[in-house]
DNA sequence: ATATTTTAGTTAAAGGTGCAACTATTCGTT
DNA sequence: AACGAATAGTTGCACCTTTAACTAAAATAT
Protein backbone atom coordinates (compact mmCIF):
# COMPACT_ATOMS: atom_id res chain seq x y z
CA UNK A 1 0.00 0.00 0.00
CA UNK A 2 1.50 3.32 -1.05
CA UNK A 3 2.08 6.25 1.25
CA UNK A 4 -0.35 9.12 1.34
CA UNK A 5 0.60 12.34 -0.29
CA UNK A 6 1.27 14.31 2.89
CA UNK A 7 3.42 11.44 4.07
CA UNK A 8 5.43 11.50 0.87
CA UNK A 9 5.98 15.23 1.18
CA UNK A 10 7.14 14.92 4.77
CA UNK A 11 9.47 12.04 3.97
CA UNK A 12 10.87 13.73 0.89
CA UNK A 13 11.83 16.71 2.98
CA UNK A 14 13.24 14.56 5.72
CA UNK A 15 15.25 12.78 3.09
CA UNK A 16 16.55 16.07 1.71
CA UNK A 17 17.52 17.17 5.18
CA UNK A 18 19.29 13.89 5.80
CA UNK A 19 21.26 14.41 2.64
CA UNK A 20 22.11 18.07 3.09
CA UNK A 21 22.61 18.75 6.78
CA UNK A 22 25.62 16.50 7.44
CA UNK A 23 27.46 17.97 4.47
CA UNK A 24 26.61 21.48 5.59
CA UNK A 25 28.00 20.83 9.05
CA UNK A 26 31.16 19.32 7.65
CA UNK A 27 31.71 22.33 5.43
CA UNK A 28 31.43 24.72 8.34
CA UNK A 29 33.75 22.76 10.57
CA UNK A 30 36.19 22.38 7.74
CA UNK A 31 37.40 25.86 8.62
CA UNK A 32 39.22 24.44 11.64
CA UNK A 33 40.21 21.25 9.87
CA UNK A 34 37.91 18.74 11.52
CA UNK A 35 34.86 16.89 10.32
CA UNK A 36 31.60 16.99 12.23
CA UNK A 37 32.25 13.48 13.46
CA UNK A 38 35.73 14.38 14.62
CA UNK A 39 34.29 17.33 16.48
CA UNK A 40 31.82 15.01 18.14
CA UNK A 41 34.70 12.89 19.36
CA UNK A 42 36.69 15.82 20.69
CA UNK A 43 33.54 17.09 22.31
CA UNK A 44 32.78 13.78 23.98
CA UNK A 45 36.29 13.61 25.37
CA UNK A 46 36.28 17.23 26.48
CA UNK A 47 33.03 16.70 28.36
CA UNK A 48 34.12 13.54 30.11
CA UNK A 49 35.59 15.00 33.25
CA UNK A 50 38.43 12.49 33.28
CA UNK A 51 39.46 13.67 29.83
CA UNK A 52 39.61 10.19 28.44
CA UNK A 53 37.29 7.47 27.29
CA UNK A 54 37.36 3.87 26.22
CA UNK A 55 37.17 3.32 22.49
CA UNK A 56 34.04 1.23 22.72
CA UNK A 57 32.36 3.72 25.01
CA UNK A 58 33.22 6.51 22.61
CA UNK A 59 31.89 4.49 19.71
CA UNK A 60 28.67 3.86 21.57
CA UNK A 61 28.18 7.48 22.54
CA UNK A 62 28.68 8.70 19.01
CA UNK A 63 26.64 6.04 17.24
CA UNK A 64 29.71 4.90 15.37
CA UNK A 65 31.04 1.46 14.61
CA UNK A 66 34.29 0.47 16.23
CA UNK A 67 36.23 0.15 12.96
CA UNK A 68 35.17 3.61 11.93
CA UNK A 69 36.16 5.07 15.26
CA UNK A 70 39.47 3.27 15.20
CA UNK A 71 40.39 4.81 11.87
CA UNK A 72 39.29 8.30 12.77
CA UNK A 73 41.17 8.14 16.05
CA UNK A 74 44.26 7.07 14.15
CA UNK A 75 43.86 10.13 11.99
CA UNK A 76 43.36 12.39 14.99
CA UNK A 77 46.36 10.80 16.64
CA UNK A 78 48.53 11.62 13.64
CA UNK A 79 47.45 15.22 14.04
CA UNK A 80 48.22 14.98 17.76
CA UNK A 81 44.74 15.95 18.86
CA UNK A 82 44.11 12.66 20.58
CA UNK A 83 46.42 10.09 22.07
CA UNK A 84 45.87 6.39 22.52
CA UNK A 85 46.74 5.06 25.96
CA UNK A 86 46.42 1.40 26.83
CA UNK A 87 44.07 0.85 29.73
CA UNK A 88 46.03 -0.24 32.81
CA UNK A 89 43.20 -2.26 34.32
CA UNK A 90 42.18 -4.11 31.15
CA UNK A 91 44.82 -5.19 28.70
CA UNK A 92 42.34 -5.38 25.84
CA UNK A 93 41.04 -1.87 26.20
CA UNK A 94 42.39 1.41 24.86
CA UNK A 95 41.63 4.85 26.19
CA UNK A 96 41.48 7.84 23.91
CA UNK A 97 42.71 10.95 25.67
CA UNK A 98 42.51 14.53 24.52
CA UNK A 99 45.88 16.23 24.08
CA UNK A 100 46.50 19.89 24.84
CA UNK A 101 46.34 20.68 21.14
CA UNK A 102 43.19 18.63 20.92
CA UNK A 103 41.61 20.74 23.63
CA UNK A 104 42.60 23.89 21.76
CA UNK A 105 41.11 22.67 18.54
CA UNK A 106 38.00 21.62 20.39
CA UNK A 107 37.65 25.16 21.67
CA UNK A 108 37.58 26.37 18.09
CA UNK A 109 35.43 23.61 16.67
CA UNK A 110 32.93 24.02 19.47
CA UNK A 111 32.44 27.68 18.67
CA UNK A 112 32.10 26.90 15.00
CA UNK A 113 29.74 24.06 15.70
CA UNK A 114 27.53 26.25 17.86
CA UNK A 115 27.26 28.89 15.18
CA UNK A 116 26.58 26.24 12.56
CA UNK A 117 23.80 24.82 14.69
CA UNK A 118 22.33 28.26 15.05
CA UNK A 119 22.53 29.17 11.41
CA UNK A 120 21.60 25.82 9.92
CA UNK A 121 18.95 24.64 12.33
CA UNK A 122 17.88 26.98 15.11
CA UNK A 123 17.37 29.92 12.83
CA UNK A 124 14.88 27.91 10.82
CA UNK A 125 13.16 26.57 13.90
CA UNK A 126 12.70 30.12 15.12
CA UNK A 127 10.36 30.77 12.23
CA UNK A 128 7.96 28.07 13.39
CA UNK A 129 4.78 29.10 15.19
CA UNK A 130 5.43 27.28 18.49
CA UNK A 131 8.60 26.31 20.31
CA UNK A 132 10.67 24.88 17.48
CA UNK A 133 13.36 23.43 19.71
CA UNK A 134 10.81 21.55 21.79
CA UNK A 135 9.14 20.25 18.64
CA UNK A 136 12.44 19.02 17.29
CA UNK A 137 13.22 17.39 20.62
CA UNK A 138 9.94 15.52 20.69
CA UNK A 139 9.97 14.61 17.05
CA UNK A 140 13.48 13.21 17.04
CA UNK A 141 12.71 11.34 20.22
CA UNK A 142 9.69 9.73 18.61
CA UNK A 143 11.66 8.67 15.57
CA UNK A 144 14.69 7.48 17.49
CA UNK A 145 12.56 5.33 19.75
CA UNK A 146 11.23 3.23 16.90
CA UNK A 147 14.66 3.30 15.32
CA UNK A 148 16.30 1.84 18.38
CA UNK A 149 14.15 -1.23 18.26
CA UNK A 150 15.54 -1.73 14.79
CA UNK A 151 19.02 -0.77 15.82
CA UNK A 152 21.71 -3.35 16.67
CA UNK A 153 23.23 -1.64 19.67
CA UNK A 154 21.37 0.47 22.24
CA UNK A 155 18.03 -1.16 23.11
CA UNK A 156 18.79 0.22 26.55
CA UNK A 157 21.97 0.18 28.53
CA UNK A 158 22.26 -1.42 31.87
CA UNK A 159 25.84 -1.93 32.97
CA UNK A 160 28.14 0.88 32.06
CA UNK A 161 31.47 0.23 33.78
CA UNK A 162 32.34 3.93 33.98
CA UNK A 163 30.63 5.62 36.90
CA UNK A 164 30.61 9.12 35.39
CA UNK A 165 27.99 8.02 32.96
CA UNK A 166 25.46 6.78 35.47
CA UNK A 167 25.81 9.50 38.07
CA UNK A 168 25.88 12.63 36.00
CA UNK A 169 27.43 15.51 37.98
CA UNK A 170 26.33 18.20 35.57
CA UNK A 171 22.78 19.42 36.05
CA UNK A 172 21.11 17.87 33.05
CA UNK A 173 17.66 18.67 31.85
CA UNK A 174 14.63 16.80 33.03
CA UNK A 175 16.15 14.05 30.93
CA UNK A 176 13.46 12.05 29.23
CA UNK A 177 14.48 8.42 29.10
CA UNK A 178 15.98 8.51 25.66
CA UNK A 179 17.70 5.28 24.73
CA UNK A 180 21.39 5.73 25.31
CA UNK A 181 22.88 5.64 21.86
CA UNK A 182 20.29 7.96 20.44
CA UNK A 183 20.57 10.70 22.98
CA UNK A 184 24.34 10.60 23.40
CA UNK A 185 25.86 14.06 24.01
CA UNK A 186 23.04 14.99 26.35
CA UNK A 187 25.11 16.86 28.88
CA UNK B 1 28.26 31.86 23.29
CA UNK B 2 27.33 28.28 24.00
CA UNK B 3 24.02 26.69 23.21
CA UNK B 4 21.37 26.31 25.89
CA UNK B 5 20.78 22.91 27.33
CA UNK B 6 17.45 22.25 25.58
CA UNK B 7 19.11 23.25 22.34
CA UNK B 8 21.94 20.81 22.89
CA UNK B 9 19.50 18.00 23.60
CA UNK B 10 17.51 18.72 20.48
CA UNK B 11 20.61 18.92 18.33
CA UNK B 12 22.13 15.80 19.82
CA UNK B 13 19.04 13.87 18.88
CA UNK B 14 18.91 15.39 15.46
CA UNK B 15 22.51 14.41 15.04
CA UNK B 16 21.76 10.84 16.11
CA UNK B 17 18.90 10.67 13.66
CA UNK B 18 21.10 12.00 10.89
CA UNK B 19 23.59 9.29 11.63
CA UNK B 20 21.21 6.38 12.05
CA UNK B 21 18.33 6.87 9.64
CA UNK B 22 20.21 6.70 6.32
CA UNK B 23 21.92 3.48 7.38
CA UNK B 24 18.61 2.02 8.50
CA UNK B 25 17.02 2.77 5.14
CA UNK B 26 19.93 1.29 3.26
CA UNK B 27 19.71 -1.89 5.29
CA UNK B 28 16.03 -2.33 4.50
CA UNK B 29 16.41 -1.70 0.80
CA UNK B 30 19.38 -4.01 0.69
CA UNK B 31 16.87 -6.85 0.51
CA UNK B 32 16.20 -5.98 -3.13
CA UNK B 33 19.78 -5.07 -3.86
CA UNK B 34 19.57 -1.31 -4.11
CA UNK B 35 20.71 1.48 -1.85
CA UNK B 36 18.33 4.18 -0.69
CA UNK B 37 19.94 6.57 -3.13
CA UNK B 38 19.54 4.15 -6.00
CA UNK B 39 15.90 3.73 -5.11
CA UNK B 40 15.53 7.50 -5.17
CA UNK B 41 16.90 7.51 -8.69
CA UNK B 42 14.65 4.72 -9.90
CA UNK B 43 11.74 6.46 -8.23
CA UNK B 44 12.50 9.79 -9.86
CA UNK B 45 12.66 8.14 -13.27
CA UNK B 46 9.52 6.09 -12.68
CA UNK B 47 7.60 9.20 -11.70
CA UNK B 48 8.75 11.28 -14.65
CA UNK B 49 6.01 10.43 -17.12
CA UNK B 50 8.45 10.36 -20.03
CA UNK B 51 10.41 7.67 -18.25
CA UNK B 52 13.70 9.45 -18.69
CA UNK B 53 15.58 12.37 -17.30
CA UNK B 54 18.70 14.38 -17.93
CA UNK B 55 21.61 13.52 -15.70
CA UNK B 56 21.88 17.03 -14.35
CA UNK B 57 18.17 17.25 -13.71
CA UNK B 58 18.31 13.95 -11.87
CA UNK B 59 21.27 15.14 -9.85
CA UNK B 60 19.43 18.29 -8.94
CA UNK B 61 16.25 16.51 -7.91
CA UNK B 62 18.09 14.10 -5.69
CA UNK B 63 20.46 16.60 -4.10
CA UNK B 64 23.42 14.71 -5.50
CA UNK B 65 26.60 15.88 -7.15
CA UNK B 66 27.05 15.02 -10.80
CA UNK B 67 30.10 12.80 -10.28
CA UNK B 68 28.27 10.81 -7.69
CA UNK B 69 25.27 10.39 -9.93
CA UNK B 70 27.44 9.44 -12.86
CA UNK B 71 29.04 6.58 -10.94
CA UNK B 72 25.82 5.29 -9.50
CA UNK B 73 24.18 5.38 -12.91
CA UNK B 74 27.11 3.43 -14.31
CA UNK B 75 26.54 0.84 -11.64
CA UNK B 76 22.80 0.71 -12.33
CA UNK B 77 23.56 0.48 -16.01
CA UNK B 78 25.76 -2.57 -15.46
CA UNK B 79 22.83 -4.17 -13.68
CA UNK B 80 20.59 -3.15 -16.59
CA UNK B 81 18.19 -1.19 -14.44
CA UNK B 82 18.92 2.06 -16.19
CA UNK B 83 20.21 2.88 -19.65
CA UNK B 84 22.13 5.89 -20.83
CA UNK B 85 20.83 7.47 -24.01
CA UNK B 86 22.48 10.48 -25.59
CA UNK B 87 20.10 13.40 -25.89
CA UNK B 88 19.21 13.97 -29.56
CA UNK B 89 18.64 17.71 -29.20
CA UNK B 90 21.76 18.47 -27.17
CA UNK B 91 24.95 16.60 -27.89
CA UNK B 92 26.38 17.29 -24.45
CA UNK B 93 23.48 15.90 -22.53
CA UNK B 94 22.70 12.35 -21.52
CA UNK B 95 19.31 10.95 -20.62
CA UNK B 96 18.94 8.22 -18.05
CA UNK B 97 16.04 5.94 -18.91
CA UNK B 98 14.46 3.24 -16.84
CA UNK B 99 14.67 -0.23 -18.36
CA UNK B 100 11.94 -2.84 -18.02
CA UNK B 101 13.98 -4.60 -15.36
CA UNK B 102 14.56 -1.28 -13.70
CA UNK B 103 10.83 -0.73 -13.48
CA UNK B 104 10.39 -4.17 -11.96
CA UNK B 105 13.02 -3.53 -9.35
CA UNK B 106 11.50 -0.17 -8.66
CA UNK B 107 8.21 -1.88 -7.95
CA UNK B 108 9.93 -3.95 -5.29
CA UNK B 109 12.07 -1.20 -3.85
CA UNK B 110 9.10 1.11 -3.65
CA UNK B 111 7.17 -1.38 -1.55
CA UNK B 112 10.15 -1.92 0.68
CA UNK B 113 10.77 1.78 0.94
CA UNK B 114 7.19 2.45 1.93
CA UNK B 115 7.30 -0.12 4.68
CA UNK B 116 10.65 1.20 5.87
CA UNK B 117 9.21 4.70 6.02
CA UNK B 118 6.30 3.41 8.03
CA UNK B 119 8.36 1.40 10.45
CA UNK B 120 11.27 3.76 10.88
CA UNK B 121 9.53 7.10 10.83
CA UNK B 122 5.74 7.14 10.69
CA UNK B 123 5.30 4.67 13.48
CA UNK B 124 7.27 6.93 15.78
CA UNK B 125 5.43 10.03 14.63
CA UNK B 126 2.16 8.34 15.43
CA UNK B 127 3.07 8.37 19.09
CA UNK B 128 3.26 12.14 19.14
CA UNK B 129 0.36 14.10 20.63
CA UNK B 130 -0.61 16.06 17.50
CA UNK B 131 -0.31 15.35 13.79
CA UNK B 132 3.23 14.01 13.59
CA UNK B 133 3.40 14.07 9.81
CA UNK B 134 2.38 17.71 9.69
CA UNK B 135 4.92 18.56 12.35
CA UNK B 136 7.67 16.83 10.43
CA UNK B 137 6.59 18.61 7.26
CA UNK B 138 6.73 22.01 8.89
CA UNK B 139 9.89 21.36 10.79
CA UNK B 140 11.86 20.09 7.82
CA UNK B 141 10.57 22.95 5.77
CA UNK B 142 11.83 25.42 8.34
CA UNK B 143 15.25 23.83 8.44
CA UNK B 144 15.58 23.38 4.70
CA UNK B 145 14.71 27.00 4.06
CA UNK B 146 17.65 28.31 6.03
CA UNK B 147 19.76 25.52 4.60
CA UNK B 148 19.03 26.54 1.05
CA UNK B 149 20.44 29.98 1.59
CA UNK B 150 23.62 28.25 2.58
CA UNK B 151 23.36 25.70 -0.16
CA UNK B 152 25.27 26.02 -3.45
CA UNK B 153 22.56 24.93 -5.84
CA UNK B 154 18.84 25.57 -5.46
CA UNK B 155 18.18 29.11 -4.23
CA UNK B 156 15.13 28.91 -6.47
CA UNK B 157 14.61 27.51 -9.94
CA UNK B 158 13.38 29.53 -12.81
CA UNK B 159 13.88 27.85 -16.18
CA UNK B 160 13.32 24.14 -16.14
CA UNK B 161 13.49 22.93 -19.76
CA UNK B 162 11.18 19.98 -19.08
CA UNK B 163 7.56 21.04 -19.02
CA UNK B 164 6.34 18.22 -16.77
CA UNK B 165 7.99 19.90 -13.88
CA UNK B 166 6.23 23.22 -14.15
CA UNK B 167 2.76 21.94 -15.05
CA UNK B 168 2.32 19.03 -12.74
CA UNK B 169 -0.42 16.73 -14.01
CA UNK B 170 -0.70 14.77 -10.77
CA UNK B 171 -2.90 16.42 -8.17
CA UNK B 172 -0.26 17.55 -5.74
CA UNK B 173 -0.92 18.87 -2.30
CA UNK B 174 -1.44 22.52 -1.62
CA UNK B 175 2.25 22.71 -2.46
CA UNK B 176 3.96 25.15 -0.19
CA UNK B 177 6.67 27.01 -2.08
CA UNK B 178 9.51 24.82 -0.95
CA UNK B 179 12.80 25.62 -2.66
CA UNK B 180 13.27 23.16 -5.48
CA UNK B 181 16.16 20.99 -4.42
CA UNK B 182 14.96 20.63 -0.90
CA UNK B 183 11.48 19.49 -1.68
CA UNK B 184 12.36 17.31 -4.67
CA UNK B 185 10.13 14.23 -4.88
CA UNK B 186 7.06 16.28 -3.98
CA UNK B 187 4.68 14.55 -6.35
C1' DA C 1 33.44 32.35 -39.41
C1' DT C 2 36.25 31.71 -35.52
C1' DA C 3 37.81 32.14 -30.83
C1' DT C 4 36.25 32.28 -26.12
C1' DT C 5 33.42 30.93 -22.54
C1' DT C 6 29.77 27.96 -20.45
C1' DT C 7 27.56 23.92 -19.84
C1' DA C 8 27.14 18.59 -19.53
C1' DG C 9 29.22 14.85 -18.15
C1' DT C 10 33.01 11.54 -17.18
C1' DT C 11 37.24 10.12 -14.97
C1' DA C 12 41.28 10.13 -11.58
C1' DA C 13 42.98 10.37 -6.97
C1' DA C 14 42.26 10.65 -2.06
C1' DG C 15 39.82 9.70 1.82
C1' DG C 16 35.93 7.75 4.49
C1' DT C 17 32.94 3.64 5.92
C1' DG C 18 31.06 -0.98 6.62
C1' DC C 19 31.72 -5.89 6.87
C1' DA C 20 34.41 -9.63 7.79
C1' DA C 21 38.58 -11.60 9.34
C1' DC C 22 42.16 -11.47 12.66
C1' DT C 23 44.95 -10.71 17.18
C1' DA C 24 45.17 -10.19 21.95
C1' DT C 25 43.26 -10.29 26.47
C1' DT C 26 39.94 -11.51 29.89
C1' DC C 27 36.19 -14.33 31.77
C1' DG C 28 33.99 -18.76 32.89
C1' DT C 29 34.29 -23.66 33.26
C1' DT C 30 35.90 -27.71 34.59
C1' DA D 1 45.71 -24.51 36.12
C1' DA D 2 43.90 -24.85 31.32
C1' DC D 3 40.60 -24.82 27.77
C1' DG D 4 36.88 -22.57 25.29
C1' DA D 5 33.99 -18.52 24.83
C1' DA D 6 33.40 -13.67 24.94
C1' DT D 7 35.29 -8.95 24.58
C1' DA D 8 38.28 -4.90 22.74
C1' DG D 9 40.39 -3.29 19.02
C1' DT D 10 42.73 -3.22 14.56
C1' DT D 11 43.25 -4.21 9.69
C1' DG D 12 42.17 -5.89 4.79
C1' DC D 13 38.97 -5.41 1.25
C1' DA D 14 35.37 -3.54 -1.33
C1' DC D 15 32.62 0.26 -2.19
C1' DC D 16 31.04 5.05 -2.10
C1' DT D 17 31.75 10.03 -2.24
C1' DT D 18 34.13 14.36 -2.90
C1' DT D 19 37.26 17.52 -5.26
C1' DA D 20 39.77 18.55 -9.17
C1' DA D 21 41.10 17.83 -13.74
C1' DC D 22 39.58 16.64 -18.14
C1' DT D 23 36.69 16.02 -22.74
C1' DA D 24 33.14 17.36 -25.67
C1' DA D 25 29.48 20.19 -27.35
C1' DA D 26 26.76 24.41 -27.34
C1' DA D 27 26.32 29.43 -26.69
C1' DT D 28 28.37 33.88 -27.16
C1' DA D 29 31.28 37.34 -28.75
C1' DT D 30 34.33 39.28 -31.98
**% of chain A surpassing 70 pLDDT:** 79
CA A8/CA B187 separation, integer angstroms: 8
Better-scored residue on pLDDT, A57 or A176? A57
Q: Under an 8 A CB cutoff, do A7 and B133 touch?
A: yes
CA A126/CA A118 separation, integer angstroms: 10
Residues A99-156: tens digit of each pLDDT: 999 999 999 999 999 999 999 999 999 999 989 999 999 999 999 988 776 654 433 3
Handedness of CA A118, A16, B76, B31 (dihedral sign): positive
Q: Under an 8 A CB cutoff, do A151 and B186 touch?
A: no
Residues B16-45: tens digit of each pLDDT: 999 999 999 999 999 999 999 999 999 999
* Nearest nucleic acid nucleotide to B38, CA to C1' distance: D16
DSSP bridge partners of A96:
A53, A84
CA B183/CA B179 separation, integer angstroms: 6
Mean pLDDT, residues B150-177: 35
Contact residues on chain B for A128, CB-CB shorter than 8 A: 138-139, 142
Between strands A82-86 and B82-86, the pairing is unpaired
Which are the contacts of A72, defined by CB distance < 8 A and separation ≥ 6? A37, A38, A41, A64
The phi, psi pair for B169, rounded to 5°, reads: -75, -30
Could you give the C-alpha distances from B177 to A15, B9, B113, B182, in angstroms and in order?
17, 30, 26, 11
Nearest C-alpha in B relative to A118: B3
Give the global pTM.
Answer: 0.83
- Which residue gives the smallest C-alpha to C1' distance to D23? B92
Query: B150 pLDDT band (50/70/90 cuts)?
Result: low
Query: A50 pLDDT band (50/70/90 cuts)?
Result: confident
CB environment B145-183: b (16+ within 10 A), e (fewer)? bbbbeebeebeeeeeeeeeeeeeeeeeeeeeeebbbbbb
Of A43-52, A89-98, B5-14, B144-153, least confident by mean pLDDT is: B144-153
Residues B175-186: tens digit of each pLDDT: 333 444 554 434
CB B66 under 7 Å to nucleic chain C: yes
Nearest C-alpha in B relative to A121: B143
CA dihedral A13, A16, A22, A26 (to 10 degrees): -120
- pLDDT exceeds cutoff 90 at A22: yes
CA A158/CA B50 separation, integer angstroms: 55
CA B120/CA B115 separation, integer angstroms: 8
Query: What pLDDT is recorded for position A11?
Result: 94
Between CA A38 and C1' C13 the distance (Å) reads 23
Contact residues on chain A for B10, CB-CB shorter than 8 A: 133-134, 136-137, 140
Residues B82-115: tens digit of each pLDDT: 999 999 999 999 999 999 999 999 999 999 999 9
Between CA B93 and C1' D9 the distance (Å) reads 49
Amino acid sequence: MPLTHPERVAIARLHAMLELLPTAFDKRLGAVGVTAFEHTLLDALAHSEDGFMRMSELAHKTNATLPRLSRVVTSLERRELIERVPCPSDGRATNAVLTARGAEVHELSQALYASAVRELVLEGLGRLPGDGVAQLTDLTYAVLSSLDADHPRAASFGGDPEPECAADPVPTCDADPVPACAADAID
